[in-house]
Structure 1
Amino acid sequence: MSLWEFVQDRWSLLWFQGYQHVSLVIQSLIVATLLALVLACLSYRSSRVTSVALSASSVGLTFPSFALFGLLIAFIPNGVTVSVVALAFYGTLPILRNAVVGLARVDPGLVESARGMGMSRTATLLRLEIPLAWPVIITGIRISAQMLMGIAAIAAYASGPGLGSFIFSGLSRIGGANATNSAWAGTLAIVVLAVLLDLVLNLLGRLTTSRGIRV
């Protein structure tokens, strides 16, 4: 059976697991974005804390994803929960780095002017600093999304949802009937979904970025 015939024969299952894959990534990405923004807002005003945050984000990305899933399984029995926790962890790191860098680059003069006009620190952060840093932040979100699309395939190891089951099933049966087709179908589907998600995030970034600071 050719790859195309394999895909046609299992199209409904591929579609369903593709939906699960994207849903898992998007949910984890939302959690990661919120966590990263909170951490960035708490750390960017201090150069020492900023340095620690940037170092932590770099070191965190070196932790093997397969090992993290294995460790989490020992404490969390639910595969979906394990998947969301692991993906949120990895997803937070690139966004945190970009958010800290973006906020730190905001012109201090603009911040002082806003404070001089009577804006509170919170209002200045939400209405001035984050919007100005948003292009850098959305870039971090896009990077994180692409990374999570790949890592989410490992969720199948923890009985999580997504297209990873096609890949693991194929790799575990190498030499068997349709084993290669299964692995290729899962891999190519993830690549296609990653491209589509990046296009959506790129459009979202343009729509949510002030026209005056678009590049």
Structure 2
Amino acid sequence: MLWRFVVDRWDQIWFAAWQHFSLVVQSLVLAIVISMLVAFLVYRSPRFSSIANGVSAVGLTIPSFALIGILIAPLGFGVTPSVVVVTFFAALPILRNAVVGLSNIDQSVVESARGIGMGRLRTLFTVEFPLAWPIILTGVRISAQMVMGIAAVAAYALGPGLGGFIFSGLSRLGGANSLESVAVGVIGVVILALILDLLLVGLGRLTISRGIRVSK
């Protein structure tokens, strides 16, 4: 029974769940930093913005399983290929939303900020970024849900997380506790995805001013 399987392996499940959550959160933070740096560099140029959006679209068509397999050769097994793959896929929706959010800000607002003496960087961080943040955060939430599942696939490269239960169950399908193992991995990933999304919703309420929320 599933309940007995969970009780007997609770320590393993809890540790794997924590590793999974940690992998996703750390990769998500890294993806946000990379995506924002790229977005800040390209959003003022229609040409480079189009290239960034194109890269985001094409990147999402790459099968995560195939990319992990390719990275095993140069990076080996373990945490490193898992972080690279999860970060790569996490960065794509964030980059797209960041470019769109920053590019679509009303230029009259930007010009007003510059008109009262704000420099380019100050305008970016105190005016443009806060206005674009709701759209960027939407991209972060999309990424978080997407890579929570991709992190499970990283178990193919012996990465950390709940994917180990899924692959272990699938490898001995029909054997004792195989379905329970798969179920624990899948249900665990779904629960972690819901928890992370709730945390991001809370982050949005803390970081998006009420005026911007109302206007949206």
Give the TM-score, by structure 2 length: 0.97
Whether 1:168 aligns to 2:158 is: no
Letter in 2 for 1:201: L
Secondary structure (helix, strand or coil) at the match of 2:75 reads coil
Between the aligned partners of 1:41 and 1:210, the Cα distance in structure 2 is 22
**Relative to structure 2, which stretch is displaced further, 152-161 or 77-86?**
77-86
Over 2 Å off, 4+ runs: none
SS at the partner of 2:61?
coil
RMSD: 0.8
- Give the number of aligned pairs: 214
> In the aligned structure 1, how far is the partner of 2:76 from the partner of 2:67?
14
Q: Residue in 2 aligned with 1:81?
A: 80
Paired residue type of 2:66: A
Shift of 1:9: 1.1
TM-score, scaled relative to structure 1: 0.98
**Paired AA for residue 11 in structure 2:** S
Distance of 1:34 and 1:117 partners within structure 2: 29
SS at match of 1:45: coil
Separation in 1, partners of 2:119, 2:88: 31
Q: Which piece of structure 1 moves more, 102-111 or 15-24?
A: 102-111
CA distance in 2, matches of 1:22, 1:87: 12
Deviation for aligned residue 1:77: 2.2
Counterpart CA distance in 2 for 1:57 and 1:11 is: 39
Identical amino acids, percent of aligned pairs: 61
Counterpart CA distance in 2 for 1:79 and 1:68 is 14
1:190 equivalent in structure 2: 189
Confirm or deny that 1:108 pairs with 2:110.
Answer: no
Measure the CA separation in 2 of the matches of 1:34 and 1:127. Answer: 17
| Matching residue of 2:122 | 123
Corresponding residue for residue 33 of structure 1: 32
Deviations 1:34-88 (A, max 9, x none): 1111111111111111111111100000001001101111101251111111111
Q: Output the CA distance in 2 between the equivalents of 1:43 and 1:86.
A: 23
